[in-house]
Amino acid sequence: MVGRRHPPCSPPGFTEFNKRICYDTYDVTPLIHTGENAIACRLGYGWYAGHMNLSDMCYIFGYLPKVLLQLELQYADGHTQVVASDESWHSTLGGSIRYSDPLAGEFQDLRLEQFGWDMPGFSAVSWTPAFTIPRDETPITWHRTQHVTRNRTLRPKNHHEVSPGVFVFDFGQEFSGWCRLTTDGPAGTHITLRHAECLNNDGNISVQNLWGTLQREDYILDGKGPRTLEPHFTWHGFRYVEVRGLTHAPTAQTLIGQSVRAEIASTSEFECSNPLYNKLMHATRWTQWNMLFDVPTGCAARAERLAWLGDIRDCVNTAMLNMDTAAFFGKYTVDIRDSQTPQGRFCDITPHAQLRGSEICAGSPGWADCGMSLPWDLYLHTGDKRIIERHFTVARRWVDWVAGNNPGYLWANQRGQDWGDWLSAGSPVTPKELAATAYFARSADIMSRMAGVLGEQRWQQHYAMLFAAIRGAFTKAYVSADGTIQGDAQGSYALALEFGLLDEPLASKSFQKLLVAVQRAGGHLTTGFLSTRALMQALSRFGGHNVAARMANQITIPSWGYMIETIGTTFWESFDAYEKGKPVILSLNHWPWSSIGEWLWSFVAGIALDENQPGAGGVIIHPRPVAEVVWCRGRITTARGPVQAQWHRHPHAFTLEIEIPPNCEATIKLPVSPTWTILEGGRSVVHNPEVMLLRSNKRERVLSVASGKYAFECRP
Catalytic residue ranges: 304, 573
Would strands 665-670 and 618-621 be described as parallel, antiparallel, or unpaired? parallel
DSSP SS3 for 226:
coil
Q: Which residue type sits at 130?
A: A
Give the distance from CA 154 to its chain's centroid.
21
The secondary structure element, H or E, covering residue 161 is strand 158-163
Q: Looking at the chain, how many residues does it have?
A: 716
DSSP SS3 for 620:
strand
Distance between CA 661 and CA 670 in Å, rounded? 20
The secondary structure element, H or E, covering residue 75 is none
* Contact criterion met (CB below 8 Å) for 475 and 467: no
* Contact criterion met (CB below 8 Å) for 337 and 389: no
Nearest Cα to Cα of residue 181 among 115, 124, 231: 231
How many Cβ atoms sit within 10 Å of the Cβ of residue 484? 16
- DSSP assignment of 370-428, as one string? HHHHHHHHHHHHH--HHHHHHHHHHHHHHHHHHHHH-TTSS--S--TT---STT-SSSS
Distance between CA 141 and CA 333 in Å, rounded? 15
Would strands 641-650 and 653-660 be described as parallel, antiparallel, or unpaired? antiparallel
What Å distances lie between residue 552 and 113, 567, 620, CA to CA? 54, 18, 22
Distance between CA 432 and CA 713 in Å, rounded? 49
Q: How big is the CA angle at 593 (ends 312 and 550), to the nearest 5 degrees?
A: 145
* Contact criterion met (CB below 8 Å) for 547 and 512: no
Distance between CA 101 and CA 44 in Å, rounded? 7
Nearest Cα to Cα of residue 541 among 506, 504, 508, 519: 508
Distance between CA 576 and CA 173 in Å, rounded? 19
Nearest Cα to Cα of residue 429 among 505, 526, 363, 350: 526
Cα end-to-end distance, the chain, whole Å:
73
* Contact criterion met (CB below 8 Å) for 599 and 545: no
Distance between CA 612 and CA 618 in Å, rounded? 8
Nearest Cα to Cα of residue 379 among 364, 394, 365, 389: 389
* Contact criterion met (CB below 8 Å) for 493 and 431: no
* Contact criterion met (CB below 8 Å) for 309 and 346: yes
Nearest Cα to Cα of residue 390 among 403, 379, 404: 379
